[in-house]
Structure 1
Amino acid sequence: MHADTYIPRRLDDPWKIGFWDIDVAAPVLFGLFMGYMSGSKLAFAVCALAGAFTARAIVRIKADKHPAFAMHWLYWHLPTSPLTVMRATPPSHLRRMVG
Structure 2
Amino acid sequence: MADKYAIPARLDDPELIGFWTLDEFIAMVLPFIWGVLTQHILIGIILGFGCWWSLRKAKAGRAASWLLHLAYWYLPGGFVGLRATPPSFLRLMAG
**Which residue does the alignment assign to 2:42?**
45
TM-score, L = length of structure 2: 0.62
Q: What is the RMSD computed on CA atoms of the aligned residues?
A: 2.6
CA distance in 2, matches of 1:34, 1:75: 28
Counterpart selection for 1:73 from 48, 67, 74: 67
State the one-letter code of the partner of 2:56.
V
Partner secondary structure for residue 13 of structure 2: coil
Asked if 1:33 corresponds to 2:33, the answer is yes
CA distance in 2, matches of 1:6, 1:31: 40
Identity %: 26
CA distance in 1, matches of 2:14, 2:32: 22
Structure 1 gaps of 5+ residues are 90-99
CA 1:62–1:19: 2 relative to 1, 3 Å: same
Listed one character per residue, the Cα deviations across residues 6-25 of structure 1 (whole Å, up to 9, x for unaligned) are 54223232121101111222
Task: Kindly report structure 1 stretches of 4+ aligned residues shifted beyond 4 Å.
Answer: none
CA distance in 1, matches of 2:48, 2:21: 14
Q: Number of paired residues?
A: 77
| Cα drift, residue 30 of structure 1 | 0.3
More helix by share: 2
